[in-house]
Amino acid sequence: MGEPSPPLLLVSAVALIDSVDRILLGRRPIDKPMPGLWEFPGGKINLGETPEEALIRELKEELGIDTKESCLAPIAFASHRYDEFHLLMPLFVCRVWEGIPHPIEGQELAWVTIADMRNYPMPPADTPLVAMLRDIL
C-alpha cells in the first residue's frame, strides 16, 4: 500500500468568453494558497450543489454577474494531486451572462486572448485546460 490519498476537493470553474474570444482570468490574492497565479473564475462546490449551481453562485458572489445553467457548457475537467488535497474540477464555457464582471472580492481581473494565456502563470491543475480551450476557439 502507498501513501494515503489526500482529501478530494471539488471545485467548479468557467471560461467566460467575450464577443471577441477573450477569456476572463482572476489573479489569486496574496493571502490565499498559490498567491499571484491566474485562474478561471469559480470555486468550491458546496454539499448539495451541482457544479453548475456552484458556478452560478460563485459568479454572482465574486464577479457580480448572473448566468443560467443552460448557458454553461462543460468542456473538460482537471484532476490534479496537490500536497494537501486532490482537486477535481470540471471546466465550463460560458458566453452569455448579465452584468459586467467586476472584482467584488478585490481580485485583479484580466481579459486575455488564448494566445496570450501563456504569459499568465496558472496553478498546475488549470494549465492543461488552456490547450483544450485553444481547440474550441
pLDDT tens sequence across 16-69: 999 999 999 999 988 888 889 999 999 999 999 999 999 999 999 999 999 999
Confidence label for 2 from pLDDT (cuts 50, 70 and 90): low
Per-residue model confidence (pLDDT) at position 1: 58
Q: Measured between alpha carbons, how far is residue 87 from residues 12, 50, 92, 95 in Å?
A: 10, 16, 16, 25
Which residues, in sequence order, are CB contacts of 101 under 8 Å at separation 6+? 16, 24, 41, 63, 64, 65, 109
Q: What is the largest CA-CA distance in the chain?
A: 51
Q: How far apart are CA 60 and CA 79, in angstroms?
A: 25
Cell 477569456 identifies what position?
A: 23
8-136 CATH, one of 1.10.110.30, 3.40.50.11810, 3.40.50.150, 3.90.79.10: 3.90.79.10
- Per the model's pLDDT, the better-predicted residue between 72 and 2 turns out to be 72
pTM over 0.85, yes/no: yes
Q: Could you give the percent of the chain with pLDDT greater than 70? A: 99
The top-scoring range by mean pLDDT among 4-13, 56-65, 120-129 is 56-65
